[in-house]
Amino acid sequence: MKHFLQKLGKSMLIPIAALPAAGLLLRLSAEDMLNIPLFQASGVILNNMDILIAIGIAMGLAKTKDKGIPALTGYLAISVLNEGLGILNQDLDMSVFGGVIAGLMAAYIYNQFQHTRLPSMFAFFGGEKFPITMIILVMIPIAGLFSVVWPYAQAGIDAFSQMLVGMGAFGIFVFGFFNRFLLPFGLHHVMNTYVYFGLGRFETASGQAITGEITRFLNGDPHAGYFLGGFFITMMFGIPAIALAISRAARTKKKETKALMSSGAATSFITGITEPIEFTFLFTSPLLYVLHSVYTGLAGMTLYLLGIRHGFSWGAGVIDYVLNLNLSDRGLLVIPVGLAFFILYYATFYFIITKRNVPVVGREQGAASLQENGGGTAEKHSKYQTIAADILQHIGGKENVMSCENCMTRLRLRLADNSLADEAKLKRAGAHGVIKIGRHDIQIVVGPDAANVKRELQTLIERESY
C-alpha cells in the first residue's frame, strides 16, 4: 500500500507540469493585464484536469518504459466515463475523482492485458494494443455503475467540502499543517489534488461549472483562494527565514552553508519549491519540521481571519503573487503579514538550532552540500553525471535498481534491497534527504535538478547493462 500510494502521488505530479505555462499565460493575457484573447486558450488546461490526471496516473502506474499506449488508454478511459455519465445523467460531474478512477482502471487494464496474444488474423490488435480495446469495453459498464453510485459519493464529498469550508480558519489551518506534514512521505499531492482541483463549485459567466481552489480562483470566484494564500507566507518568507537562521547558526563551512541556503531560499521565493531547504532539517530535527508545519497552517489561518484572499496557478512564489494580485482581496497585506512570520520563523528556528545544538548544515562535521559535490570526480563529467554516479554507487549499484523515476525534487527508486542504500554517503554525495519506505522504495531528495540527475542515472544504468 505504501508503494502504491507513493506511485499514485508521483503520478499525479505528471499533469502538474502543464500548470506553470497554462497559469502564467492565462493571467498575462487576461483583460486586466495584456488582454490577448487568443492566449486565454491556455485555460483549457485548468478546465480539463480530470483528463490530465487520468493520463498521468495511467502513465505513472503502467509497468512499461514506453508510456505512449498507457497515456492513450487513460485518455480513452476518462472520455468513455464522462460520455457515459453524460448520457445517463447530465447533472453528474465526477471532476478530478473521475480522472483518478479512469487513470487507475487504465493502468490496471494495461498491466493485465499488455501481453495478450490473439489469433493471427487479429494479431494487430494484440499485445500492448489490446488494452485500448479492453478499456473501452470495461469503462462502459463502469460508467453505468458510477451513474448509480456517484450521487451518493458526491453527497458525501459535498458534505466533507462544506465541513472543511465551514470550519473556517481551523479548516484552513488543518489543510496547511497536513500539506507540510505529509510532504516527507510524498502523500501531500493526494490531498492537494482534491483541494486544488475538486474543492467547491463555481459557475462562470458562460455557465460552465468548475471545481477546485486553483481553478475557481483563476476564474474569478470571490470565495476561492483562502486555502491557497497562506503558502505565499511560507514560500516567500518562512523558508528564506529558515535559510537565514541556518546560515547564521553555522559554525563550520560558513561560506558553503550560506551559498546552499541562499540558493534554496531563492528557489522557494521565486518558484515555491521548498524541499531543498526543508530536507536539511527534516531528519535532524523533527521538532523543527512539526513547528514548520504548524506555522504553515497558522499562516493560512491568519490570512483568513484578516480577510486576505490570494491564490496561485502552480506555486506560491513571487511570480504568482504579482501576477494574481488583481484577483486577490487585500493581497498587498500578504507582505506585512509575511514579514511578521519571517521574524517568527527566524527567531524560533535560530533559538532551537543553537540552544538544542541541532546538527543542521554547517553544524555537522563531514556534511557536504550539493555545490561541493557538483564539480565531479573527473572534469569531463557534468555535475549531474557525477551526482548520478555517486548515487548509483551508494544504493548498491545498477543490479539493485528495479525502477527509477523522479518528481520535481526527488528521485523515486524501487530497489531490490533498501538496506544496501547508505544514507550517510548519499547525503555526502549531494542528497538533501533520504527516505526509505518499506523494504524496496526509497526517495532521494536532490532539489529542482531531480529530472537532470534522474536522466543521467538512467543513462548509467542502461549503459552498464550492455
E strands, 347-428, are 401-406, 410-415
**Catalytic residue of the set 61, 105, 407, 421:** 407
Q: Is 404 a catalytic residue?
A: no
C-alpha cell of 274? 521548498
C-alpha cell of 45? 488546461
Active site residues: 407
